[in-house]
């Protein structure tokens, strides 16, 4: 069955995220390894890395993936920003390698004043450069986006082209987000739509590339191109698409991770479960286990 989990804060140290995941009943986990809205990253010390590995082994929470900084934009027309983004991505991959993570999820980028074709080429070149500086084996997972503004990666064809441009794509996979799919115009709500969407994904990209799902309901309707996450069953998706995903044998081995709203701000010392995470995970478990 799919392993269920959520994104957890690393406030107080990266191993704290595993403590919070355990308290919440997570089977899998997503974290940031640094602040998502800052370029600078605090160094991960040996003691902190050891504690992370120890807690992961003790809890059996697996796989664990990280999400890259939102500042990274491999499609930036400005060469200075693009090089800064490549360096930041390389650093994020190094941090993920040190923690032994299964993957690093990345929003591919926005082409802003450039063209879509240029943006796709810059993204592929940036991935190649960042991975050339990587010494470990953590996969880079391109996240399908909602298509807000000039954001690239909202069409399967765009993801396919990013991957096809790489000389070596063996360490590149894909992350699908249910909110983003609907926002981008992929109908996974109706039975026929669900079938057609994943037939198209298999044809263009292939299920072998699919490594993780983000399970989020959407505040906005099909084709809105607006990325606004909502709790499971409280948005425009309802519960039926999640039931289909959780019962779909093609995805039985994949982690499915919540990025839904939480109750409120978190204190550094707090490792208790967030009530909203508990509620959303309970609903997903009921769909997965009971159907």
CATH number of domain containing 175: 3.20.20.150
For residues 239 and 249, give the distance between their C-alpha atoms in angstroms, rounded to a whole number: 18
pTM above 0.85?
A: yes
Mean pLDDT score, 231-235 = 98
For residues 17 and 130, give the distance between their C-alpha atoms in angstroms, rounded to a whole number: 26
* Per-residue pLDDT at 262 exceeds 90: yes
Cβ neighbours of residue 141 closer than 8 Å, sequence gap 6 or more: 65, 103, 104, 105, 106, 172, 173, 174, 175, 211, 212
Domains in the chain, number: 1
* Per-residue pLDDT at 33 exceeds 90: yes
> What pLDDT is stored for residue 113 in this prediction?
87
For residues 255 and 177, give the distance between their C-alpha atoms in angstroms, rounded to a whole number: 12
DSSP-assigned letter for residue 24: H
Q: What are the pLDDT digits (tens) for 125-164?
A: 999 999 999 999 999 999 999 999 999 999 999 999 999 9
Where does residue 278 rank: exposed (0-12), middle (13-18), buried (19+ CB within 10 A)? middle
**Secondary-structure percent of the chain, ordered helix, strand, coil, rounded to 5:** 40, 15, 40
> What pLDDT is stored for residue 291 in this prediction?
62
At residue 114 the predicted structure's pLDDT band, cuts being 50, 70 and 90, is: confident
Which domain, by its residues, includes 205? 3-290
Instruction: Give the percent of the chain with pLDDT over 90.
Output: 93
Q: Write out the two tokens for 235.
A: 């948005």
């Amino acid at each position: 069955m799919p392993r269920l989990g959520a994104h957890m804060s690393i406030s107080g140290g990266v191993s704290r995220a595993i403590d919070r995941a355990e308290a919440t009943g997570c089977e899998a986990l997503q974290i940031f390894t640094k602040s998502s809205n800052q370029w600078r990253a605090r160094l991960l010390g040996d003691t902190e890395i050891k504690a992370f590995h120890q807690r992961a082994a003790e809890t059996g929470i697996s796989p664990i993936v990280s999400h890259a900084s939102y500042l990274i934009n491999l499609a930036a027309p400005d060469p200075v920003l693009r090089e800064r983004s490549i360096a930041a991505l390389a650093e994020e991959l190094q941090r993920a390698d040190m923690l032994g993570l299964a993957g690093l999820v990345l929003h591919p980028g926005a082409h802003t004043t450039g063209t879509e074709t240029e943006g796709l080429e810059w993204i592929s070149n940036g991935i190649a450069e960042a991975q050339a500086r990587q010494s470990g084996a953590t996969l880079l997972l391109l996240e399908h986006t909602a298509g807000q503004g000039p954001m690239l990666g909202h069409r399967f064809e765009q993801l396919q082209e990013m991957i096809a441009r790489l000389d070596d794509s063996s360490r590149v996979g894909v992350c699908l987000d249910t909110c983003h799919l609907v926002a981008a115009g992929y109908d996974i709500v109706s039975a026929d739509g669900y079938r057609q969407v994943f037939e198209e994904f298999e044809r263009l990209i292939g299920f072998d590339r699919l490594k993780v799902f983000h399970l989020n309901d959407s505040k906005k309707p099909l084709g809105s191109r607006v990325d606004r996450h909502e709790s499971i069953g409280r948005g425009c998706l309802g519960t039926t698409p999640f039931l289909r995903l959780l019962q779909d044998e093609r995805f039985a081995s994949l982690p499915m991770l919540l990025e839904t709203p939480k109750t409120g701000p978190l204190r550094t010392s707090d490792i208790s479960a967030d009530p909203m995470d508990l509620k959303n995970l309970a609903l997903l478990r009921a769909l997965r286990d009971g159907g």
